[in-house]
Each structure stands twice: as structure tokens, then as C-alpha cells.
Structure 1
Amino acid sequence: MNPYVRDRITRKLDTLSDERLYQVLDYIEFLESKYAEKSAPVANLFTRFAEGVEDKLRAGGVAVSTVSETMGFLNKAMGVLNGVAQTTMTVAGDVVNAAKTAADQVGAPPPAAAPSSTASSTGTTPSAITGTQPAPLGVPPAPPSAAA
């Protein structure tokens, strides 16, 4: 979109009341449905929800001031939820990085690593090499015998 036209439209819209702005929005949506050359960008889930609430309130004949106030509250709530989602993504990334660092420090193999080449090339298992059998799940291993 031409930035000069956008600025001019914004200046004109700033002079209108909320009721007239909704009329402008309706007209823009009408023009979009008839003449749009490309599809509008897909809005995120929170935005689609808020716009749906706004449309229902307007269709129900709710006063424009009430719709505006409700949308203000919804926008604040969406800001909080977006912040929570962003923080959750950051924390999850930090946890993954910490786990990778801990695994590197311990020397653990990466999650998708193949077994060691010595055991796989000889066909032996660690228990065959040590002569011990692994303990069943949930049972701690026996202490080494004094005879060894």
C-alpha cells in the first residue's frame, strides 16, 4: 500500500467518531469482498476471536461506546495472553538449551545417536563384556562382590 495514501486515510479517520469508523470498516469490508486483488493476511487466533466478538456485539445492536470499551478490554487481555505465550516459548527454549548443556557436560550421547561402534561391531552387549546381568527395572543393582 502506498504510504502516502495510508497516512492521508489515517488523518481523515482520526476526525471521525467510533460510530462512523464502524461504517467505514463495513464499507472497507464490502470493497474487499468485491474488488480485493489479493487475500487479506490471516489474523492470529486471538485477533480472529476478538473480531468475532466485536461483530456479534455490533450485530446485536449494542451501543458503539460499549463495543469500543469491550474491545479495549479484549485487546488488553490479548496483550497479556500474547506476553504469556512469548514467555512460555522463551522458557521452553531455555529448558532445552540447559538440557543440551547438561547432556554435553555429562558426556551423554545425543538422543538419536547410534550405539557405540565397539559394541555394535563385535555384536556384544555391555553385560557380555562385564559378565554381569542388568538389574530388572525398579530393582537397584547388587553391590560388587568381595571375591572380585
Structure 2
Amino acid sequence: MNPYVRDRINRKLETLSDERLYQILDYVEFLESKYAEKPAPVTNVFQKFTDGVEDTLRAGGLAAGTVVEAVGFLNKAMGVLNNVAQTTKTVATDVVSTAKTVADQIGAPPPTPPGAPPTAASGTPPGTPPSPPATPA
């Protein structure tokens, strides 16, 4: 997108009410459906949910200001959920890293993910049945 045109459009949009901005959004979505040269960028599941709620509220005839407030709350919640997801990913990465470090220190084979086939490092090749227990003589 041409940054100069985008900036000019943004300057014009800043002068309009929320009601007019929703009319412009409807028109842009119409133009996109008819003339888009490339697919719209993929949004995450939280953004799709927020867009759906926004469209439903607008279709229900709520005032634009009410819709804007509701979407603002949803965006704040989306930010919190994104932070939780990122933190969870970081913690999981740290746990795996620590497990690998401990395994290296004690000379144990590295942990395998659940459902993964055993490796040669575990002592038996994959597909080998376990040996029967030894019987005393």
C-alpha cells in the first residue's frame, strides 16, 4: 500500500464520526470483495471473534458508540489472552530447555515428546519387543 495515500486517508478519517467510519468500513469491505488484487492478511482467532461480535452488534442496530466501547473491551481482553498465550509458550520452552540441560548433566537420554517412537539412544531400537525377565537358575 502506498504510504502517502494511506496517510492521507487516515487524516481524512480522523475528522469523521464513528457512524460514518462504519459506513466507510462497509464500503471498503464491498470494494475488497469486488476488486481485491490479493487476499486479506490472515487474522488470528481472537481478531476474527472480535470482528464477528462487532458485525453482530452493528447488525442489531446498536449505536456506533456502544459498538466502539464493546469492541474496545474485547480488544483489551484479546491483549490479555495473547499475553497469556505468549507467557505459556515461554514457560514451556524454558521447561524443555531445563529438562534437556538436566538430561545432559546426568547423561540420560533427552526427553522424548509424548507419542514419539523411542530412539536408539533409549537402548532398544524402535519396534523391538521388550525382553522377558530373567529367571533364577
Q: TM-score range by the shorter chain?
A: 0.7 to 0.9
Match of 1:124 in 2: none
> Residue 109 of structure 2 contacts residue 122 of structure 2 at CA under 8 Å; is this kept in 1?
no
- Sequence identity percentage: 71
| Residue 120 (structure 2) pairs with residue 114 (structure 1) | yes
Counterparts of 1:64-143 in structure 2, within 5 Å, are: 64-110=64-110, 111=112, 112-115=118-121, 133=134
TM-score with structure 1 setting the length: 0.77
1:109 Cα deviation from its structure 2 partner: 1.9
TM-score with structure 2 setting the length: 0.83
Counterpart of 1:34 in structure 2: which amino acid? K
> Which consecutive segments of 4 or more residues in structure 1 shift more than 6 A?
none
Match of 2:58 in 1: 58
Instruction: Give the Cα–Cα distance (whole angstroms) in 2 for the partners of residues 59 and 81 of structure 1.
Output: 26
| Residue 27 (structure 2) pairs with residue 27 (structure 1) | yes
SS of the counterpart of 1:50? helix
Counterpart of 2:87 in structure 1: which amino acid? T
Instruction: Give the Cα–Cα distance (whole angstroms) in 1 for the partners of residues 97 and 122 of structure 2.
Output: 24
Instruction: Give the Cα–Cα distance (whole angstroms) in 2 for the partners of residues 22 and 115 of structure 1.
Output: 61
**Which one has the largest radius of gyration?**
1
- Gaps of at least 5 residues in structure 2 are 113-117, 126-131
Counterparts of 1:30-45 in structure 2, within 5 Å, are: 30-45=30-45
Q: Please give the root-mean-square deviation of Cα atoms over the aligned residues, in Å.
A: 2.5
Counterpart of 2:75 in structure 1: which amino acid? N
1:71 Cα deviation from its structure 2 partner: 0.4
Instruction: Give the Cα–Cα distance (whole angstroms) in 1 for the partners of residues 122 and 100 of structure 2.
Output: 20
SS of the counterpart of 1:16? coil
> Residue 58 of structure 2 contacts residue 64 of structure 2 at CA under 8 Å; is this kept in 1?
yes
Aligned length: 125
- Gaps of at least 5 residues in structure 1 are 121-126, 135-148
